[in-house]
Structure 1
Amino acid sequence: MTSLPEGVHPARRPVSEAETLRANRREWDAYADEYQATHGDFLGDVGFVWGPEGHQEADLGVLGDPADLVGCVALEIGSGAGQCSRWLRTQGAVAFGLDVSERQLQHSRRIDEATGTVVPSVLATASRLPFADACLDLVFSSFGALQFVADGDQLLAEVARVLRPGGRFAFSVTHPVRWSLPDDDGEAGFQVTSSYWDRTPYVEEHEDGTAQYVEHHRTLGDWVALLAGEGFALTALHEPQWPEGLDRIWGGWGPARGRLLPGTAIFVARLLPS
Structure 2
Amino acid sequence: MLKILKAEYRKFFSGKLFITILILAIIFPLLSAGLYGLVVRGIDPELFQINAEVAFIGSFSPLNNFGFLLLIFMLVILLADFSQNTIRNKVVAGYSKSTIYLAGAIFTLSIAFVATTVYVFLNYLLTGLVINFGSGDFLVVFKHWAVGMLATLAIYAFLQFVAYTFKTLGASLGVVIGSLIGTLLIYTIISFRLSESANRILTIFVPLLQVIGSLFGSKDYLWMLLIDGVYVVLLVGFGAFLSKKLDYK
Shorter-normalised TM-score: what interval? under 0.3
| Greater RCO, 1 or 2 (C-alpha within 8 Å, sep 6+) | 2
| TM-score between the two structures when normalised by the length of structure 1 | 0.25
More helix as a share of residues: 2
| TM-score between the two structures when normalised by the length of structure 2 | 0.27
Q: Please identify the structure whose Cα radius of gyration is greater.
A: 2
